[in-house]
Amino acid sequence: MNIALFLKVKEITNPVYLVGGSVRDLLLGKEPKDYDFTTPILPEKIEALIRQVGRKPYLIGKRFGTIGVKIDGQMMEITTFRTEKYSEGNRKPEVNFVNDLAEDLSRRDFTINAMAFDGENIIDLFNGKEDLENKIIKCVDKPNERFKEDPLRMLRAGRFASQLGGTIEEETENLTKQLNYKILEISKERWVMELDKILLSNNPEIGLNFLIRTKIMNFILPEISMQKDYDQNNPHHKLTLWEHTLEVVKNTPNDIELRWGALLHDIAKPFIRIDNNKGYSNYIKHDILGGEFVLRFASYLKWSNRRRDSVYNLVVNHLTESSPLRKVDMEAK
Indicate if 122 and 141 belong to the same structural domain. no
- pLDDT at site 2: 66
Q: Is the pLDDT of residue 89 over 70?
A: no
Instruction: Reply yes or no: is the peptide bond before residue 204 cis, omega within 30 of 0.
Output: no
Count of structural domains within the chain: 3
Q: Do residues 69 and 141 both lie within one domain?
A: no
- pLDDT tens, residue by residue, 6-24: 888 999 999 999 999 999 9
58 φ, ψ (degrees, to nearest 5): -105, 125
Q: Helices 305-316 and 256-264, interaxial angle, to 10°?
A: 50
Is the confidence at residue 107, as pLDDT, over 70?
yes
Of the candidates 114, 323, 130, 303, the residue with the CA atom closest to the CA atom of residue 221: 303
- Please check whether residues 152 and 255 belong to one and the same domain: no
Do 214 and 232 have their domain in common? no
Whether residues 60 and 1 share a domain: the answer is: yes
What is the pTM (predicted TM-score) of this model? Answer: 0.92
**pLDDT confidence band for 278 (50 / 70 / 90):** confident
Query: Of the residues 176, 204, 220, which one is the last residue of a structural domain?
Result: 220
- 238 lies in the same domain as 174: no
CATH of the domain at 80: 3.30.460.10
The Cα–Cα gap between 67 and 331 comes to 51
For the domain that residue 210 is a member of, what is the CATH number?
1.10.110.30
Q: pLDDT tier at 195 (50, 70, 90 boundaries)?
A: very high
Domain final residue pick, 172, 204, 220 = 220
Is the same domain home to 11 and 129?
A: yes
Side-chain half-sphere exposure of 259, counting CA atoms within 13 A: 20
Structure confidence by residue, pLDDT tens digits, 223-252: 999 999 988 887 777 889 999 999 999 999
Considering the domain architecture, whether residues 235 and 148 belong to the same structural domain is answered as no
Same domain, 118 and 149: no
Lowest mean pLDDT among 144-158, 194-208, 306-320: 144-158
**Do 174 and 144 share a domain, yes or no?**
yes
94 and 1 in one domain? yes
Choose the final residue of a domain: 134, 151, 181: 134
Q: Do 183 and 147 have their domain in common?
A: yes
Question: Residue 54: which domain range?
Answer: 1-134
